[in-house]
Amino acid sequence: AVGRTTINRDVLMFFTGQEPDHACCVRDITNRGAGLRLNGLNIVPSEFGISFDNFLTMRACRLIWRNGDFVGVAFES
C-alpha cells in the first residue's frame, strides 16, 4: 500500500558476530523498508544492518519475507 521507489543501489549488509560484510543490492525502498537482492547469499539472519555509505551510517533491518535471492525487510527504529 506504500509507494516504492526503485533505486537498484549496492549496499553492504552487516550480521552481528560475523565477518566479513556482504554486498547486496537494494532494488526498491520506502520509509518503512526495502526489497533486497542478495547476490547468492544463502543464509540471512532475522535481524541485520545495511549501509549505503560504507558504514558511516547504518539502517537496522528485520527480515519480513524471502523468495529465493530476494528478501523484503522492515526498517527498525
Output the pTM of the full model.
0.88
Pull the grid cell for residue 70: 530476494
pLDDT of residue 1: 55
Kindly report the CA angle at 54 between 50 and 55, in degrees rounded to 5?
Answer: 60
- Separation between Cα atoms, residue 19 and residue 2, nearest integer Å: 34
* CB-based contact 35:28 (threshold 8 Å): yes
For 16-63, write each residue's pLDDT tens digit: 887 778 999 999 999 999 999 999 999 899 999 999 999 999 999 999
7 band by pLDDT with thresholds 50, 70 and 90: very high
d(CA 14, CA 46): 12
The per-residue pLDDT for range 56-73, each reduced to its tens digit, is: 999 999 999 999 999 999
DSSP category for residue 33? E
What values do phi and psi take at 7, rounded to 5? Answer: -130, -30
